[in-house]
Amino acid sequence: MREILGRRRRLLSRRKDKGPDFLGAALTFATEWQWPVLPGVAPDPQGRARCACPDPECSVPGAHPFDPGLLAATTDERMVRWWWGNRPAAPIILATGAVGGNAPCAVSLPALAASHALTLLDRRGMRLGPVVAAPTRWALLVKPYSMEQLGELLYAKDFVPGSLRFHGEGGYLALPPSETGQGAIRWERAPLPGSAKPWVPDVEAVVDAVVDALTRTGVSAPEL
């Protein structure tokens, strides 16, 4: 019995040593949830704060598509396996709002302000969907929206913090467990285990709640 337990511990240890399962995560997003993904540019191996893309002043090192471009994002299992079979540690990039409205969009804000805002929204009992956390910004996933819908929503407000960013159609977002030049991408609020497809709220509800939390309750968000 001891020999069997010892072997199991060794096997578990080996699994941990392998690091994040990028292919497994990409397949879940693409084939189970029908979220179109593609590999991102890796951080520069000579300096992780830099990007391997040609732009020496890239503002999102390792967290954006380059080759292939964003339009190549797909839910096709064979393509996903080929990409991560050749680039097993490539960041996983979600094409937000793409492919017939199957992909979620997102609203992001600076990490510290997002942490405070989520605490306030939890106290109010607001239901949120998955939240993606990068070292500097957190992104709240929402249902797909059009630019016209977003424009009308923002026009109706007296004030919208400039630190809010909107990842809609034609946008992108790095998903866990990606490693980027700014650090690891993780779930601050992970989808429920075994979810056929994660539930996400309407953009109106999220924007209304976040703007209110940032402007009426003393929580500030720097213009980042």
User: Does 221 have pLDDT greater than 90?
Assistant: no
Query: Range with the lowest mean pLDDT among 10-14, 116-120, 209-213?
Result: 10-14
Could you tell me which residues come within 8 angstroms of residue 190 by beta carbon, excluding any fewer than 6 positions away? Answer: 130
Question: What is the SS3 assignment for 82?
Answer: helix
Residue 62 vs residue 108, higher pLDDT:
108
User: Does 40 have pLDDT greater than 80?
Assistant: yes
Q: How far apart are CA 202 and CA 208, in angstroms?
A: 10
- Span 133-137, average pLDDT: 92
175: part of which helix (H) or strand (E)? strand 171-175
Q: How far apart are CA 114 and CA 118, in angstroms?
A: 6
Helices (H), the chain: 2-17, 22-27, 77-86, 111-123, 147-155, 203-216
Q: Are 203 and 160 in contact (CB under 8 A)?
A: no
Strands of the 171-175 sheet, one edge to the other: 37-39, 92-96, 171-175
User: Does 29 have pLDDT greater than 60?
Assistant: yes
